[in-house]
Chains A and B, each alone.
Chain A
Amino acid sequence: MSDLKEKAIHGLFMFNGLLVVIVLVGIFALLVGTSIPAFREISLKEFLFTARWNPTSYVRTQYGIGAMLVSTAMVTIGALVIAFPLGIGTAAYLSDIASPRVREIAKPIIEILAGIPSVVIGFLGIVLVGPAIARLFNIPNGLNALNGSFLLAIMALPTIISISEDALKSVPKSFTEASLALGSTHWQTIVKVKIPAAASGIFASCMLGMGRAIGETMTVLMATGCAPAMPHGFLDSVRTMTSTIAIELGEVPYYTTHYYALFGVGLVLFIITFLVNMISDIVLRKYQIKVR
């Protein structure tokens, strides 16, 4: 009797574990299922490879996500260009140079930064970063790709710093000692020995930061101006995949081509972030095995 109960409890927990897999597969399946009707009317080629997104036009509706893909790529790359050097530098300082006291102060700083809600960062993009950019470049408003990149960099920093720091810390001590014993300075050891040795972990941290930046909604929605045209530079307003969904899903009637197409955008977004996360995951795992 109690044996049966034990088995039932075991089964229950096992199902609970399985639930996570079901949720992940379920998200993918529902996105595919809901976007399929859109592709009965839009060709996949038009969807992926044309730039114009104009679903509410009276003359001819257009469903190309090209401009969105470019917008997302721009803000993401911009964010990494800002966050990568800053994040690695901070991680290297914390792992190799900082005194325990500095580290104790720095750790909560990074945790607090990670805890700020994205909508608050987006708000600051409007009231602080936007006007600053407008003044700096002498343009009428600062809601553009540069603003979005800067804010996304802030959001990606905690991820990049903490994972790179872990990677740098797990470089075997013998590497550092050998380098120092050969007469290199601390600085040379960091640049020529530790960072190359931790390269895969650092790379993974950037991929994870990138995944966050690609999927982030509120900051880019608020701070990039959201003009649906193809951007030509970082001072242009951009509209990413995430902000398009956020803007339009609230207004579109259910079960229209436009509605299904928005799920198509969500599907593309899901696949891109999934791949980015998988790559970082594989790199991290491989790297961990090597160190041990």
Chain B
Amino acid sequence: MNKKNIEQNAGITVLFLCLGTVALILVVILWDIFTKGAGKISWAFLTQMPKNGMTEGGIFPAIIGTFLVTLMTALFAVPLGMGCAIYLNEYARDNRFTRLIRMSIRNLSGVPSIVYGLFGVVLFVQLMRIGTCILSAGMTLGLMTLPWTITASEEALKNVPQAYRSGALALGATKWQSIRTNVLPYAIPGMLTGTILGLARAAGETAPILFTGAAFFLPFLPESLFDQFMALPYHLYIMATQHHDIEGVRPIAYGTALVLIVLVFSMNLFAIILRYKLRKVRKE
């Protein structure tokens, strides 16, 4: 073997080790959470209220809170995201205005989540006087999710063949009729896939809800959109750093982390399966 070959093999081994390290990091993360969290998971843990200063009992209100706030996020972000995507892909031409919109979208996706939190505090909690509650937190997360829903929705619209639009227009349909009957029905499943991925990220976010509605501990479930709520990521944060008996509640923290990860992953998985099924349908 000459020098060149040795160098080649060594180099490629190094590159492979890079990939190996990344994979190893993921395995260690998942292994730790799953092995140490699994023992805590039980029906009672998932369906009971926290008890005795959160040292016992379950995480039921946090699960419900995360579910409600994610639903709120979806209600807020999905229509706005889809509307913006429809405008960009169906109506707008490539001009200065749309370039400004696209630049804003890219920049919004880079705004730190805590800054969305600050924005939510001023706009929703104070200026609009909604207070700290599910609605404020949901809208804050909704704004944060907006760039992702727009990008995903536009991708789905781009995948609808141009002929579908021309066909409708040739038959005398107006622009909106063609979009409604010939574009959206084919694009909506794809839009949903991307949106679910965005919502999964929102469900795991903590910083934007810190000051807009998440509560340390509530002995009851939220009754309306104007109530505060407990959320899984915030609960994990508290159990890991703020609780008076941190070592004692470690198992609960691990259990919460596992439930959160499983929730986020199943949303991802659902989106991926949906995407796979759609591709199959389209091919047939």
Would you call B5 and A90 a contact (CB within 8 A)? no
Would you call A115 and B11 a contact (CB within 8 A)? no
Rounded to whole Å, the gap between the CB of A6 and the closest CB of chain B is 5
Rounded to whole Å, the gap between the CB of B228 and the closest CB of chain A is 13
Would you call B7 and A185 a contact (CB within 8 A)? yes
Inter-chain CA distance A83–B151, complex, in Å, is 26
> CB-defined interface of A97-114 with B at 8 Å, one 1/0 digit per residue?
110001000100111110
Would you call B174 and A6 a contact (CB within 8 A)? yes
| Cβ < 8 Å to B, chain A residues 1-22 | 2, 5-6, 9-10, 12-14, 16-21
B133 within 8 Å of A by Cβ?
Answer: no
> CB-defined interface of A232-259 with B at 8 Å, one 1/0 digit per residue?
0000000000100110011000100000
Q: Assuming the A-B contacts A23-B108, A119-B204, A222-B241, are A127 and B250 also in contact, with contact meaning beta carbons closer than 8 angstroms in the complex?
A: yes
B105 within 8 Å of A by Cβ?
Answer: yes
Would you call A30 and B119 a contact (CB within 8 A)? yes
The A contact surface, by secondary structure, is helix
Residues on A with C-beta less than 8 A from B175 are: 6, 9-10
Residues on B with C-beta less than 8 A from A98 are: 19
Inter-chain CA distance A274–B108, complex, in Å, is 9
> CB-defined interface of B111-155 with A at 8 Å, one 1/0 digit per residue?
111111111011100100000000000000001001100100000
Would you call B237 and A119 a contact (CB within 8 A)? yes
Would you call A270 and B14 a contact (CB within 8 A)? no
A39 within 8 Å of B by Cβ?
Answer: no
B41 within 8 Å of A by Cβ?
Answer: no
Residues on A with C-beta less than 8 A from B143 are: 23
Q: Assuming the A-B contacts A21-B104, A113-B22, A215-B115, are A97 and B16 also in contact, with contact meaning beta carbons closer than 8 angstroms in the complex?
A: yes
Residues on B with C-beta less than 8 A from A185 are: 4-5, 7-8
Question: How many CB-defined contacts (below 8 Å) exist between A and B?
Answer: 255
When the two chains form the complex, which single residue of A27, A102, A116, A221 contacts B29, counting CB atoms closer than 8 Å? A116
Would you call B205 and A117 a contact (CB within 8 A)? yes
Rounded to whole Å, the gap between the CB of A130 and the closest CB of chain B is 11
A208 within 8 Å of B by Cβ?
Answer: yes
Would you call A20 and B104 a contact (CB within 8 A)? yes
Residues on A with C-beta less than 8 A from B168 are: none
Residues on B with C-beta less than 8 A from A211 are: 110
Task: Specify which of A5, A86, A98 lies most central, judged by the most chain B CB atoms within 10 Å of its CB.
Answer: A86
Inter-chain CA distance A269–B21, complex, in Å, is 31
Residues on A with C-beta less than 8 A from B25 are: 113, 154, 157
Inter-chain CA distance A186–B8, complex, in Å, is 7
Rounded to whole Å, the gap between the CB of B241 and the closest CB of chain A is 6
B244 within 8 Å of A by Cβ?
Answer: no
The B contact surface, by secondary structure, is helix
How many residues of B sit at the interface, in one of the four size bands?
Answer: 35 or more
Residues on B with C-beta less than 8 A from A86 are: 18, 21-22
| Cβ < 8 Å to A, chain B residues 21-63 | 21-23, 25-26, 28-30, 32-33
Would you call A266 and B114 a contact (CB within 8 A)? yes
Residues on B with C-beta less than 8 A from A87 are: 18
| In the complex, residue of chain B having the shortest beta-carbon distance to the beta carbon of A249 | B211
Would you call B236 and A17 a contact (CB within 8 A)? no
When the two chains form the complex, which single residue of B80, B211, B233, B250 contacts A19, counting CB atoms closer than 8 Å? B80
A227 within 8 Å of B by Cβ?
Answer: no
A263 within 8 Å of B by Cβ?
Answer: yes
A65 within 8 Å of B by Cβ?
Answer: no
Inter-chain CA distance A281–B91, complex, in Å, is 25
A187 within 8 Å of B by Cβ?
Answer: yes
A289 within 8 Å of B by Cβ?
Answer: no
Inter-chain CA distance A92–B108, complex, in Å, is 29
Would you call B211 and A250 a contact (CB within 8 A)? yes
Residues on A with C-beta less than 8 A from B234 are: 119
Would you call B115 and A117 a contact (CB within 8 A)? no
Residues on A with C-beta less than 8 A from B126 are: 254
When the two chains form the complex, which single residue of B19, B101, B110, B122 contacts A208, counting CB atoms closer than 8 Å? B110
A291 within 8 Å of B by Cβ?
Answer: no
A277 within 8 Å of B by Cβ?
Answer: yes
Would you call B176 and A21 a contact (CB within 8 A)? no
| In the complex, residue of chain B having the shortest beta-carbon distance to the beta carbon of A215 | B112
Inter-chain CA distance A111–B26, complex, in Å, is 10
